[in-house]
Structures are given as structure tokens and as C-alpha cells.
Amino acid sequence: MKNKNKILNTALLGLSLVSLSTALVAAEQDPIKVGVMLPFSGVYGGLGEATRNGLKMALQEHAADLQGRTIEFIEMDTEAKPSRAPEIANSLLNKSHADFIIGPVHSGVAMGMIKVLKGKDTIMIIPNAGVNAATGPLCAPNIFRTSFSAWQPSYPMGKVALEKGFKKVVTLSWNYGFGQESLDAFEESFTSGGGEIVKKMLVPFPKTEFQSYLSEIGSIQPDAVFVFFAGGGAVKFVKDYDAMGLKGKIPLLGAGFLTEGTLEAQGDSAEGILTTLHYADPLKNEENQTFRRDYADKFGKPSDLYAVQGYDTGLMIASAVKALNGDISDQKALIHALENTKVKSPRGDFTFSKAHNPIQNIYLRRVENGENQVVKLAASALEDPARGCSM
């Protein structure tokens, strides 16, 4: 049933794109080529699909802003394999001569892409991968990010933890770049306010056998636990945390990914978890309400964070094309236009920092009835410190 819907939707999407392009066939200029480098298979497949949907939706909605130019999508499956990333990026750059290259989800893939695309004649926009370095030491004029740096969602949680009166906290994450950067960001704000990290645990990626770590947390009995997990690992961790009897006894805090796209699978176990993120599904602003309604209508399933990030990427492209009256041949002008975009995003308006990372609000959310309800604004217009970026 679900599948039928999916196929139907894909077909509908295809149809609407066709009609879109025929409507504009009169335009004389070449289409704007948008290379899409996302995982469409494997663990991150769902994220890739949502991002692509959001991206296409934005560009369709703002077709009028494109000054008569059409969009040609070139989609490549990264399989979330970093070792293939340079080759695919290279193909979009040199074979397809893409004007924009959108991707990826996975930080390792991002590193491989940046290596190839940095300083080249294309614009790379990262719609998810949070590796700090992308807008840190590796920042470049032609690299933008519409999502977040690993630092951003976790940093405000340190302050929240202190406000709640937690003094001793255990931190836990998968042992990879993004996880560590998240823990570091939390630690930075938490310890500077007088908190203490009693233990930092790193779980080998992608291991999901958490029993021994949970047992240790149970024996340490800290005031709270801060974790970074995403996807399948997040589902497993939250359920195990509950099953080991820790839920309700030791508050669980996390970077928002802990409860993004996973709530249904986590069920009741997720209730009460506090997370910080630059978005929350139930945000009350008008853009978000419209976006969620339209997305659900269009694709037959609810939108999520990744769809929003893809959507914002589309908005950003559309607004830059509009600002330049459709002529994006001058890279300097294009970069200038992109830098000065103010994105009217479902997450709330945001602008770009010098390092091309969003300056955005971070919300404190709490899981209630299977939804991430916004508790308050944890940080407003938070800018990544962009350490190591010399732009």
C-alpha cells in the first residue's frame, strides 16, 4: 500500500516536472543544472529521499523566480560511501558541468566532495552533513551549508542542562567525527558554566549493542546523560535506555537528531526526552505550517527536518537566481547573491555567516505524544564560531 503510494507520487512528481519544463520551453537559455549527490539506498536512503523531495518542491514553488530558466536535475546515489564521493563529485563537475551541486547527508562523503569541489567553478550546497570542518578549516567561497555545523545544535544544550540544575553529566556518542564534535560542543558550554562531565563514552560506529554502556551509566548515576545518536542507533538507544530502567530516573538529553525521524519506531520510550535543534516539526510559524501541509499533499507522507533542509536549499538557489535576473554565469556575483540571501525557512528566517553556515535559532524541544514540542528558544540567531576558517 505504502509502496503504491510512493510509486504514484514519484510518477506525479515526474509529471508535474514535465509540465513545468514544457511551460517554460520558450525560454532560450540553457537550463540551470543542479547536481544532486545524496544517498538513495542503504541506511541513509530515507534522508536522501526527503532532502531531494524538499529541494524539488522549493524549486517548483518558486519556478517564477527563476526568470524563465528551467532546472535540470542530475541525481547520483552516493550510497553513503565516502570512497566513491570524489568520483561522483567529479562527474557532476566535469561531465555534467553542474551549476549547483547539492549534497551530501554523510560527513565522510562531504569531505570527499569538498576535496574535489573546493574552489571550482560550481556552487556546493550541503543540505545536511554537519562536519564542523566544512565551514571551518575547509571553508571556501563556493561552499555553502543550509543545515548546521555539528557545534550548533549541541552547544545550547550545555546552558539548558545548567539551568535545569544538572551538575554531573555523562556524555555518550558513536565514535565518529560528528558525534565527537557534538559532545565537544556540549562540553564547551556545560563546563564553562561550572558543570562537570563525569564520563565520556564513545561507542564504535555503527555498533548498536548498548547494554554495557547503559549498565555503567546506571552504576555511575549522573544527574543527566547527553547523547548524540541518529537514525537506527537513536531508535535502539532510546528503547534500550527505557528497557534498562534508566528513563524517568536519569534525564536524557540529546542533540535533536536523537528524536528526528525516529519517534514512531521509538514509541513511548522517547517521551520526555529533551533535545536541541534548529527545527521542530510543530513550529508555529506560517512558513512551516504551509510547508508541512503542501509537502504532505504532494508526497503523501509527513515532512521532516531533512525535507526542510532540502527545501531551504531550493529556496536559496531560487532567490539567488532571482537576484541575478537569471544570469548565474558570473561566479563571484552568484556567491555574493547567495551570501546575502535571507532564507524564509520553515525553521524561521536565517542568514549566512562569513563561513557560509546558517545563523539560525536553536530550539529546545521535548518529546510529548510522539512529537517534538517546542519548549522554548534555546539560542537565538546562533552563529557557528567557524574555527579555522580564514575567509
Residue choice 171, 262, 303, 319 for contact with other proteins (CB under 8 A): 262
Helix (H, G, I), strand (E, B) or coil at 70: coil
Task: Please state the closest distance from residue 204 (CB atom) to other proteins, in A.
Answer: 3
Applying CB under 8 A, what is the total number of residues that bind other proteins?
76
The set of cell numbers assigned to 366 is 521535548
Q: Tell me the C-alpha distance between 63 and 71, whole Å.
A: 9
Rounded least distance, CB 385 to other proteins, Å? 19
Please give the residues from 131 up to 170 whose contact with other proteins meets the rule CB under 8 A: 131, 138
Min dist. Cβ of residue 38 to other proteins (A): 11
CB of 325 to other proteins, least distance (A): 30
9 forms part of the interface with other proteins (CB under 8 A): no
In a 13 Å sphere around the CA of 83, the CA atoms on its Cβ side amount to 0
Q: What is the DSSP letter of 25?
A: T
**Distance between CA atoms of residues 39 and 105, nearest Å:** 7
Question: CB-based burial of residue 41 (10 Å sphere; 0-12 exposed, 13-18 middle, 19+ buried)?
Answer: exposed
Nearer to other proteins, 19 or 211 (CB): 211
Please state the closest distance from residue 178 (CB atom) to other proteins, in A: 8
- Applying the rule CB under 8 A, the residues between 68 and 87 that interact with other proteins are 76-77, 81-83, 85-87
Residues 343-382 touching other proteins, rule: CB under 8 A, are none
Identity of the residue, 154 or 345, whose beta carbon is nearer to other proteins in the bound complex = 154
CB within 8 Å of 365: residues ≥ 6 apart = 256, 259, 274, 275, 276, 277, 280, 372, 373, 374, 375
The residue written with cell numbers 551549508 in the block is 145
The nearest distance, CB 58 to other proteins, in angstroms, is: 22
**Cβ of residue 219: shortest distance to other proteins, in angstroms?**
4
- DSSP line for 257-306: GGGSS-HHHHGGGGTT-EEEES--TT--SHHHHHHHHHHHHHHSS---HH
Q: Shortest CA distance to 309 belongs to which of 120, 76, 48, 35? A: 48
Q: Which stretch binds other proteins (CB under 8 A): 151-159, 190-198, 261-269, 276-284?
A: 261-269
Instruction: Give min distance, CB of 8 to other proteins, in A.
Output: 15
Distance CA 81, CA 42 (A): 10
- Select the residue interacting with other proteins from 14, 68, 193, 267 (CB under 8 A): 267
Using CB under 8 A as the binding rule, whether residue 14 contacts other proteins is answered as no
Closer to other proteins by Cβ: residue 46 or 385? 46
> For residues 84-113, which are near other proteins according to CB under 8 A?
85-87, 90-91, 93-95, 107-108, 110-112
The grid cell for 131 is: 562536519
Nearer to other proteins, 199 or 322 (CB): 199
For residue 305, which phi and psi values (nearest 5 degrees)? -50, -45
Report the run of H or E that residue 74 belongs to, with start and end.
strand 71-77
Chain positions 194 to 253 lying near other proteins, rule: CB under 8 A, are 201-209, 211-216, 218-219, 221, 231-236, 239-240, 243-246, 249-250
Of 49, 99, 281, 287, the residue at the interface with other proteins (CB under 8 A) is: 49
Query: CA–CA separation, 27 vs 94, rounded Å?
Result: 25
Q: Where are the alpha helices (DSSP H) in the chain?
A: 2-23, 45-61, 85-90, 107-117, 151-163, 177-192, 211-220, 231-243, 263-266, 286-299, 305-323, 331-339
- Residue 268 or 327: the one with the smaller Cβ distance to other proteins is 268
Using CB under 8 A as the binding rule, whether residue 63 contacts other proteins is answered as no
Q: Is 13 in the site for other proteins (CB under 8 A)?
A: no
Q: Does 264 bind other proteins (CB under 8 A)?
A: yes
In the complex, minimum distance from the CB of residue 231 to other proteins, in angstroms, rounded to a whole number = 5
Among 43, 197, 375, 381, interactor with other proteins by CB under 8 A: 43
User: What residues numbered 309-328 form the site for other proteins, per CB under 8 A?
Assistant: none
x/- contact string, 114-133, with other proteins (CB under 8 A)?
Answer: -xx--------------x--
CA Rg value for the chain: 21
Q: Would you say 52 and 77 are in contact if contact means Cβ atoms under 8 Å apart?
A: no
In the bound state with other proteins, the residue whose beta carbon lies nearer, of 230 and 315, is 230
